[in-house]
Chains A and B, each alone.
Chain A
């Protein structure tokens, strides 16, 4: 084997090392988008297939938001009560902007001889879910976590165990057919809008809630009275 061939073979033998290094560089290239609390807000809307939203002209809405809390438990969203007025007002204004007329209460249906089947009922509820747990960053622990002088003790938990604990608040707006719900004695939903996000950042809560309530209507262009 001449010198040139040996050199080529050495280059070939180095290739897995090059591939490995290149791979590790790429593995480390997962972008950090610098997400903030508001980036974890999500807005979901679902409608009942076949619903003709233009067949409804009115809506009823209780002037309160129901907090769904387990029996005997403290309401984790009690502090969010101060935003209830804002949520109710924004909900009403969005529906009115889409042509629906708000009725003050159910007695108006009879007094104005309104067809109950042309009426929607808007119900808003809130609940919270707490998430907690841990994860073990085995990759960091294996490749970069050995400190000289520590011996193998450096690998043992909890060196690379991280915990998390966060609460997600959810605001659910459910729109049901008033007439059908009354006649069948159970809710007949036609549309649900869900705003969810992390709690614990009061400075941004008001804007985030307003954005969320408006967003669920923006992404439901079919929801209008047609007037």
Chain B
């Protein structure tokens, strides 16, 4: 909760500086699709996520910016968890709270006047990951900071003066860091993100 509040405060401060020419910012609804090892822990899509993004154009077709977001997974399961020398089972609630914090750059494949503006980009930064398992009356949890990359492709579509709908597909890759909940060696986290939202622009478009 404290992390979330810090993020909001940061978003407020950021927006205060974003009110200028050649800048745009927006909010997104973030869907997360776990992949790889992460999908063995939570295998369903997450529809509980949101993000904040601000961009500043440094050239006609290139922007740099910041992206703060949150993806949340919660899953009820009765699966058996196999350990090195045994197993544990029972009703479980498995959680992931993932907070990506990125600097990014986008390249736009359109002209200034186009309504439809496809782009691709790269996000670089950190993922703060909270993993938790409730089983029986017991709770196991841990938290780790990961360095991460998230290439993405998407588009903006102008729906009214300086207001855009956005959609982007993002491949999130959080590099190995710390320990998993089960103490296994690799703690790489991979998931796909589909983010849809609305952006407001000043100046450039």
Interfacial residues of chain A within 9-57, with CB under 8 A of chain B in the complex = 9, 11-13, 15-16, 18-20, 22-23, 26-27, 29-31, 33, 35, 38-49
Question: Which residues of A have CB within 8 Å of B4?
Answer: 23, 27
Residues of B participating in the A interface, judged by any CB pair closer than 8 Å: 1, 4, 7-8, 11-12, 15, 18-19, 25-27, 48-50, 52, 70, 72, 74, 76, 80, 83, 85-91, 93, 135-138, 161-163, 200-202
Question: Which residues of B have CB within 8 Å of A31?
Answer: 74, 76
Q: How far is the CA of A40 from the CA of B138 in the complex (A)?
A: 9
Interfacial residues of chain A within 127-183, with CB under 8 A of chain B in the complex = 131, 139, 166, 168
| Count of chain A residues with a beta carbon within 8 Å of a chain B beta carbon | 43
What residue of chain B has the Cβ atom nearest to residue A193's Cβ? B86
Q: How far is the CA of A11 from the CA of B25 in the complex (A)?
A: 10
Question: Which residues of B have CB within 8 Å of A19?
Answer: 8, 11, 27, 50, 52
Interface of B is mostly: strand
Q: With A22-B50, A23-B4 known to touch, is A33 a contact of B76 (CB < 8 Å)? A: yes
User: Among B1, B76, B83, which residue has its beta carbon within 8 angstroms of that of A139?
Assistant: B1
A219 to B85, Cβ gap below 8 A? no
Kindly name the residue among A15, A27, A48, A49 whose own CB sees the greatest number of chain B CB atoms within 10 A: A15
A22 to B137, Cβ gap below 8 A? no
User: Among B27, B70, B83, B93, which residue has its beta carbon within 8 angstroms of that of A33?
Assistant: B93
Closest Cβ–Cβ distance, residue A59 to chain B (whole Å):
20
B49 to A26, Cβ gap below 8 A? yes
